[in-house]
Amino acid sequence: MIWPVDPLVLLAFAPAALALNLTPGADMLFCLGQGLNSGPRAAMAANFGIAVGGLVHTLLAGLGLGALVAAHPLAFDVIRWVGVGYLLWLAVQSLRAPVLGPDAAGQGRAPWRAFRDALLVNLLNPKVILFILAFLPQFVDPARPVLPQFVTLGLVFCLGGLLVNGLVGGFAGSIGRRLARSETAARWLGRVSAGVFAALALRLALVQKG
């Protein structure tokens, strides 16, 4: 059997990827916000949306499209500002969401909406493109087919993200479900979630290409 990536390279890549997954970032904060606001199911759906977005970025990078976007400042900025706008829209939606009360704790955003939002936020973050283009090629052997290596490495990286972000989102979701039994706490959860989305929007707005 011919492995797309040398097993020894995978052994070196896996712990490096997991260490990066454990570093708090936009993906982890997004799952945290979804868990607090809408419960563990929404957090896990968002987690899968982020993973799918990461795989799409990896596939595009392997095909060379990611490098094309990264090389053109206008395309980079358009994607970035659309992402900022979408995150701000999510922040407003969190503030305007109705308070569910004790009988509907944890029944905020539907899982499919959480998946969609996470997928779009990930795809509209050009920083992910730059990260993949900077990190994955370090483990790619040019003597082997490039695309299968990108896909394999991307799968390993996304699996680590699923594990880490899933634990964070699940823990936040269990806390959010308890707090949502109080109308006052539920209002504050909406504000916290809005603050998370606004902070992510600011973070993305300040991203520099270089």
Tens digit of pLDDT for each residue in 178-205? 665 566 666 766 777 778 778 878 877 8
Tens digit of pLDDT for each residue in 92-142? 877 776 554 444 444 556 889 999 999 998 888 877 887 887 788 888 888
| Tokens matching residue 70 | 């990264």
Q: Which residues contact 196 (CB under 8 A, 6 or more apart)?
A: 29, 30, 32, 33
Q: How confident is the model at residue 56 (pLDDT cuts 50, 70, 90)?
A: very high
Residue 7 pLDDT exceeds 60: yes
Q: Quick one: which of 117, 133, 128, 142 has its CA closest to 9?
A: 142
Q: If you average pLDDT over residues 52-75, what whole number do you get?
A: 82
- The structure's pTM equals 0.75
Q: Quick one: which of 158, 145, 172 has its CA closest to 14?
A: 158
DSSP character at residue 99: P
Q: Quick one: which of 139, 133, 159, 157 has its CA closest to 8?
A: 139
Q: Where are the domains of the chain?
A: 26-205
The Cα 71–Cα 90 span in angstroms is 29
Q: If you average pLDDT over residues 33-59, what whole number do you get?
A: 90
CA atoms within 13 A on the CB side of 122: 28
